[in-house]
Structure 1
């Protein structure tokens, strides 16, 4: 009894720092006498050196397909918008077309029984699974996703759900996501922390950098926007310099609401055409017209250098051939575009003269265009002028426009007075819904959409609206001009294939 009472007495005589130091020394002694060894293999990201996790006391196990599926369902259930409905009730022929079209993009070995890829185009994640292709070699094509966000709380769940699904198809080891957020006044930063943890739990490589920086009242807006976009590219160069890791495709996304197959189609067209830049088509709601109109006409220029119009689809292009292709949902060559999502060939970022986002060289007389217009001009200058727009991919920034450009498919045979006039039931050229401009998302593919474009050299002049301003102006503040572009963009070499990123034939 006396000995037992003496122990508390001794402990009371030791000060707290001394007791803590004694505990640390005791722990180190035990760890040396009984070295800890992991019984399960640790998982590490593709860019992390192998030795960095050797001594970890809490190894991260490689997540199983079932664990990833649970996080997928969680991400999808958190979505407040309708991107998860894009292909939920897709017509069977579209499912077949999309599965075959994007099969070569798959960057992982499929499970023994249902393919995750097919589940993205099924009514239920637990049913209708199609058998995965056993003859496919997993792609090792590497993708760098760059995203700028500002007050994006409303779209983040959809954005991450889509990113997760696309990465599951392309292969987590092939994907790196870089997000730069700054100046948000809503709960964007808090929500980003949640999705950062979710994506890391399934092995996605992601870097999220946040800042309180905003554009000052006297800062040039284009200089500021160029710096913000370049901030999302920092990991691209860090991975090259530190790990010798290079990427084959860059996907730069704004705060839009894309579907899984929207991103896959842009990647497909980019690689099929070995394009320097591949863009979607984005839309905003026009109150006077009472319908969506084309949005990003400050950047988009047709192959003649003429600005596209904030107008309904039949009046967007001035170039006649481009207008015809656009109305038929066929890829169109343009001089420049951005339009919500742009897929870029990364080669100009890696090789001299090292393209980057910038403001105009005003002192040299260059028109103060958008940083996205200028990077398109720089791609032409570097010999990567194969730039195209994909009308099939219709992007919206809010629910109102999203619902209009992606209406539900209807059973027309149940509508009184409807009668098919020739054609086949599954022919997109004769089905009224597939021919409609704002038709269902599961629009059937035509043969022309898979044919590579014949690119021509660029124009001698480009229509430019300058933006000189500091201050609070939200649009161009200089009279537009026809600006002469570099002679290099008018040469056949400007549209020559310099970096082969083609999709392997199956």
Structure 2
């Protein structure tokens, strides 16, 4: 059957080598037959070995828009624990007000406009949708920077709000950067879950975690500045590698915000072309038995005086600012942070390239908070248009949240019904809209839409420094009146240098 002498070279191969060649040939034939087998299932199990998944010639398909919407709908309706009711069952006048107020912020196409407005708990009738069809989607780009530490309890609410806000602003216009470090609870594990779910909706997000904690001898402000700067790393990476620049930065702490809280801060920031725009945050004061203003280590009024950890009517020392604050009107301040800060990113992109830092103590600079120092640097760079929005009241826990956002009660005679005559509901006369512990859906007044008249900064700012390291409970040096530079006192420190205004 074979030519003469054909088998003689094969017969000379040693038996062990021949056996090895046979095994290899058998494996190759088996592999080829498995690829061509008609009985191989079309789906790939999660238990399939990684090597087989890597060689599959059928790439995993991306989720369809319907599948992405189902994930988004699940996350925005089931996950909030504390903020679920903040935008539901709102009074009709407020619903119409925010539809009109935030229409210019919408960054998605008209066909999806109705459903996303409804995700706020706001009814959008056909006539409302038809009246918005000529509005072009905004292409303004937003960079969200978030620091988290032991934040397991607030992450569901935080992400649910992020999903809804990004859906309104447009996923293509939003990038989220989260930096978490040193958590001792299950924050890291929960972030891994939300990282995967967030990407499935199409939102661009980077979540970086670290085991780093502040050592016993690390300077507190230097450490906090490094942590905050870590959340900004993607901002510079996207500029250097993709040439992508953002128009607005939204920096958030571990707070419980509602969707319209963030939208209002963004709206006010762009309306006023502000360098920094802050909310107002609150903590529970055990001795008083009520919430008081919280972040007074950073916040300073337009005269440079520190705000007070006090009830609403006693926060500001500057009389005009106090009157505006109690009337829920935006207020110019020298510095603030207060849970959420909206920043004009221009000083990060152009010289002198501001960043979070500790004080230059050797040069005699007062060792203020890293957030106070960045406000000072904004003044120095000519972006001293800094403001606080009292309407946006933030809490860090459920107890304070429930107190500052009580349910709306039917104090007026015909709320929710069409009037047959007379004047519409007036926030100046409504008992709940006038009170500080009022519902989330308090009505807007005309004055809240008027641009602020910014004035140059003060000559001196109250500073209570924190020079030491270690786990100290508070500032450790005597307070002083620190002199500010001449640049912050000039009229051009409050000029508009980066036009981010919205079209009304």
Matched ranges for 1:282-321 at <5 A? 282-321=281-320
* Residue number in structure 2 paired with 1:269: 268
Is contact 2:265-2:392 (8 Å) kept?
yes
Shift of 1:68: 4.0
TM-score normalised according to structure 2 size:
0.86
2:175 maps to: 176
Closer, same or farther in 2 for the Cα pair 1:470/1:78, shift >3 Å? farther
User: 2:247: which partner in 1?
Assistant: 248
Structure 1 counterpart of 2:6: none
Compared CA separation, residues 16 and 251, structure 1 to 2 (3 A):
farther
How far apart, CA to CA, are the structure 2 residues paired with 1:430 and 1:490? 39
Alpha-carbon distance in structure 1 between the residues aligned to 2:171 and 2:289:
42
Query: 1:103 is matched with which residue?
Result: 103
Q: Is 1:326 aligned with 2:317?
A: no
With over 3 angstroms needed to count, the CA separation of the structure-2 counterparts of 1:255 and 1:25, relative to structure 1, is same
Give the 3 Å change call, closer, same or farther, for CA 82–26 of structure 1 in structure 2. Answer: same
Which structure is larger by alpha-carbon Rg, 1 or 2?
2
Q: Which runs of 5+ in 1 are unaligned?
A: 1-11, 31-54, 416-422
Q: Deviations over 1:422-449 (max 9, x none)?
A: x945110111111111100000000000
Aligned partners of 1:381, 1:256: CA distance in 2, in Å?
Answer: 29
Corresponding residue pairs, total:
461
Q: Give deviations 1:147-189, integer Å, cap 9, x for gaps.
A: 0000000000000000000000000000000000000000000
- Show the counterpart of 2:47: none
1:42-97 residue CA offsets vs partner (Å, 9 max, x unmatched): xxxxxxxxxxxxx9953654742x43442233213443522121111100110000
Cα 1:337–1:15 shift into 2, 3 Å: farther
- Equivalent runs, 1:38-117 vs 2, <5 Å: 58=59, 61=62, 63-64=64-65, 66-79=66-79, 81-111=81-111, 114-117=114-117
RMSD: 2.8
**Is the contact between residue 63 and residue 201 of structure 1 (CA under 8 Å) also seen in structure 2?**
no
Report 1:332-347 matches (<5 A): 332-347=331-346
SS in 1 for 2:156: helix
Helix, strand or coil at the partner of 2:147: strand
Change (3 A) 1:119 1:365: same
- The Cα of 1:397 is off from its aligned counterpart by 0.1
CA pair 130-70 structure 1, distance change in 2 beyond 3 A: farther
Distance 2:288 2:91 in 1: 32
CA distance in 2, matches of 1:247, 1:109: 20
- Secondary structure of residue in 2 paired with 1:473: coil
1:312-357 Cα distance to aligned partner (Å, 9 max, x none): 0100000000000000000000000000000000000000110000
Cα distance in 2, alignment partners of residues 129 and 62 from structure 1:
33
Equivalent residue number for residue 392 of structure 1: 391
For residue 131 of structure 1, the aligned residue among 129, 132, 147 is: 129
Matched, 1:382 2:381: yes
Query: 1:24–1:475: structure 2 CA closer, same or farther, 3 Å change rule?
Result: farther
CA pair 56-138 structure 1, distance change in 2 beyond 3 A: farther
Q: 1:411 to 1:191 in 2, by over 3 A?
A: same
**Matches of residues 352-363 of structure 1 in structure 2 within 5 Å?**
352-363=351-362
CA distance in 2, matches of 1:20, 1:171: 56
**Could you tell me how far apart the structure 2 residues matched to 1:275 and 1:17 are?**
74
Take 1:117 and 1:20, find their aligned partners in 2: how far apart are those partners? 63
> Partners in 2 of 1:341 and 1:493 — Cα distance?
26
Instruction: Say if 2:119 and 2:164, in contact at 8 Å, map to a contact too.
Output: no
Distance 1:75 1:129 in 2: 29
Kept after mapping to 1: 8 A contact 2:80/2:160: no
Contact 2:225 2:358 in 1 (8 A): yes
Q: 1:164-243 to 2 correspondence within 5 Å?
A: 164-243=163-242
Which residue pairs with 2:439 in the alignment? 440
Once residues 21 and 479 of structure 2 are traced to their aligned partners in structure 1, the CA distance between those partners, rounded to angstroms, is 77
Q: Following the alignment from structure 1 to structure 2, what is the Cα–Cα distance between the partners of residues 467 and 221?
A: 8
What CA distance in whole angstroms lies between the structure 1 residues aligned with 2:320 and 2:20? 88
TM-score, with structure 1 as normaliser: 0.86
Deviation at 1:113, TM superposition (A): 8.1
Query: Which 10-residue stretch deviates more, 324-333 or 77-86?
Result: 77-86
Checking the alignment, whether the CA contact within 8 Å between 2:143 and 2:176 is kept in structure 1 is: yes
Partner of 1:119: 119
